[in-house]
Structure 1
């Protein structure tokens, strides 16, 4: 009887052995040696952190990529040397000018306002750093001019023109390379206010810095910063922010009430608010809704003025002075300087004063039109197209010049 084959699972089947042709022993030894060798790892490419300091600085200054030191704490530490920061600032501002033109010529058109705005937002860009940059730019300009320029005896304005902060003086330092349309960083638009912070904001406004109303919340920050400056009685910060908000017609009745009723009616601060609020109040671009936000006949303001007109001599002076300033602002006739000449030095000047506008001049029809155009152009150069050429309002403020 034949047995039935049973298949056991898991038991490997025996396969017939294959016979290989005989090979040489030398060839088999070579194959064994090749198979025994392990694959060698390629050396890793060096990272940016592993590069020498000099090469990394060259890459940074050549690429002008402001995001490079911000992408890593190690790179930020390696690229934070004061000399590197100053060289980068010179390339971003001073080097954007045409060197073959006059030292006092305006910046060329290819300078990038967005690039400069990013640099101004950096933490290291403070007022002391700005003064060092001014002096470095002055030294670089003298070096480029050479000994022949020094022999002429013509002095170029330097960092000393920023002490004290008078716009008619420091705006003569116009080789700094600020591009038209650069934005003032938000870090300078709010408190707490210090002397250096307010000074840098004041200087940037005088050089036609703007607020980025569309791409950021800087406008709302500036409104809150103005209220903080009024409470802290920082006149320089109020002077700068009043210009920025006056251009945007954002000085409202609530801000005037804060300065008068809640903060004691500081006449110097109130002068900046009303002087800037009146400029575009009666312009054709001012809509009725915007006029509703600012009322020079606000009952609360006039009630406060009437109540303080019957008090002591100091309060009486404030009450009567407030009434006079409100009447003048309503008719666009409020002068910036009302005190005698000897008291002008105690007042923070109008930021657009000096080369752009003479705030000491009377507000006649010509100066009113000039001041309105200056605000509508955000403090930039004012030009009008004519058939024979370009009519330019000169930097002297009340003078006119025609190029044909």
Structure 2
């Protein structure tokens, strides 16, 4: 017997003959209970959608997380508590995320209820601390502190059957005893003058029958803003706002008289208010010239035109000269 072994072809090997591969494939059993294969087009579409969704989610995470500070990643309730107790009114301005989480009527009301008691409950001559005044002034300077919001905040302190006019809200505000050195915010002392702004100023104005405020003396910066606001009030015909500013110590000026007499049709009621304010402040420095040539020329022309406003202006300016002498 020869020692050499006869080579045997093994099915499936690379070296198998084509006929053997074909014959072996025919003998393979088929599992008829198996589910049909998913076409490659559907399978590929599902895979693409899954990969795209996963990639998009990953991109969102990578895009969002690195931009959020440690504070922004805290739960909203905790962020709102921080805002509430810190009374840092600039916090919403730090980012759009914080602004969205801290800008709501509920949060505004909560903050107001936390801040204002620090400047309430004082006797007329008592003053609040500079810190409490600064926070309160910042609060009243916020954009959300509108007449609609503030009157709504005061509503809970009004009787159920109250008429709810600005005078009623002012009575409630005075009843809360605001500190004597609590001043209205700068944004309420200038135009444009709307009914809502005037109503809010009428409530927050510290001047009343028993307490006279000299705003230019107490705060020259606010006094200057209020003086410009008075000119705007005359130009806009907002005489209620003008009266409020005069009651807070704004000094009448020659320019105010010119606007009332020449530019606004010589409204006698407003002219009388300016005259009264001059008389009321006669002991202080005033910048009114009762002999102003522009006013007298207008009055003389009105006289020649048989307009009795000319006589009224001349009479008023002569009396004004005597008051200032």
Q: With structure 1 as the length reference, what TM-score do the two structures score?
A: 0.53
- What RMSD over aligned residues (CA atoms) do the two structures have, in Å? 3.6
Please say if residues 182 and 206 of structure 2, whose CA atoms lie closer than 8 Å, have aligned partners that are also in contact.
no
For 2:298, the equivalent position in structure 1 comes to 304
Measure, in 2, the Cα distance between the counterparts of 1:295 and 1:267.
18
Please say if residues 96 and 107 of structure 1, whose CA atoms lie closer than 8 Å, have aligned partners that are also in contact.
no
For 1:188, the equivalent position in structure 2 comes to 188
For 1:132, the equivalent position in structure 2 comes to 152
Please say if residues 198 and 236 of structure 1, whose CA atoms lie closer than 8 Å, have aligned partners that are also in contact.
yes
Please say if residues 170 and 204 of structure 2, whose CA atoms lie closer than 8 Å, have aligned partners that are also in contact.
no
Secondary structure of the residue aligned to 1:125 is: coil
Measure, in 1, the Cα distance between the counterparts of 2:290 and 2:278.
10
For 2:238, the equivalent position in structure 1 comes to 234
For 2:48, the equivalent position in structure 1 comes to none
For 1:255, the equivalent position in structure 2 comes to 256
Secondary structure of the residue aligned to 2:289 is: coil
Q: What is the correspondence of 1:170-249 to structure 2 with a 5 Å cutoff?
A: 170-171=170-171, 173-176=173-176, 178-206=178-206, 217-244=221-248, 247=249, 249=251
Matched, 1:53 2:50: no
Q: Displacement of 1:242 after TM fit? A: 2.4
Measure, in 1, the Cα distance between the counterparts of 2:320 and 2:201.
25
For 2:94, the equivalent position in structure 1 comes to 71
Matched, 1:268 2:262: no
C-alpha offsets along residues 207-228 of structure 1, whole Å, 9 cap, x if unaligned?
A: 5787578978544433332222
Q: Displacement of 1:54 after TM fit? A: 1.4
Pick the aligned partner of 1:117 from 132, 137, 162. 137
Please say if residues 189 and 225 of structure 2, whose CA atoms lie closer than 8 Å, have aligned partners that are also in contact.
yes
Q: With structure 2 as the length reference, what TM-score do the two structures score?
A: 0.64
Please say if residues 227 and 255 of structure 1, whose CA atoms lie closer than 8 Å, have aligned partners that are also in contact.
yes
Q: What is the correspondence of 1:287-326 to structure 2 with a 5 Å cutoff?
A: 290-291=285-286, 293-309=287-303, 311=305, 315-316=307-308, 318-326=309-317
Measure, in 1, the Cα distance between the counterparts of 2:143 and 2:135.
15
Measure, in 1, the Cα distance between the counterparts of 2:142 and 2:262.
38
Change over 3 Å in CA distance of 1:161–1:216 after alignment to 2: farther
Q: Displacement of 1:47 after TM fit? A: 1.5
Q: Which runs of 5+ in 2 are unaligned?
A: 1-65
C-alpha offsets along residues 249-282 of structure 1, whole Å, 9 cap, x if unaligned?
A: 3x2112211211122111232232222222122x
Measure, in 1, the Cα distance between the counterparts of 2:214 and 2:141.
13
Please say if residues 119 and 136 of structure 2, whose CA atoms lie closer than 8 Å, have aligned partners that are also in contact.
no
Measure, in 2, the Cα distance between the counterparts of 1:210 and 1:186.
15
Q: Displacement of 1:122 after TM fit? A: 0.6
Q: Displacement of 1:199 after TM fit? A: 1.8
C-alpha offsets along residues 306-328 of structure 1, whole Å, 9 cap, x if unaligned?
A: 4334545xx41x33433444455
Query: Could you say which structure has the larger radius of gyration?
Result: 2
Q: Which runs of 5+ in 1 are unaligned?
A: 1-43, 139-155, 334-404
Secondary structure of the residue aligned to 2:91 is: coil
Q: Displacement of 1:295 after TM fit? A: 2.4
Q: What is the correspondence of 1:332-371 to structure 2 with a 5 Å cutoff?
A: none
Measure, in 1, the Cα distance between the counterparts of 2:148 and 2:297.
45
Please say if residues 66 and 119 of structure 1, whose CA atoms lie closer than 8 Å, have aligned partners that are also in contact.
yes
C-alpha offsets along residues 75-126 of structure 1, whole Å, 9 cap, x if unaligned?
A: 122111111111111122136545xx9xxx6697446222211111111111
Count of residue pairs brought into register by the alignment: 252
Please say if residues 181 and 210 of structure 1, whose CA atoms lie closer than 8 Å, have aligned partners that are also in contact.
no
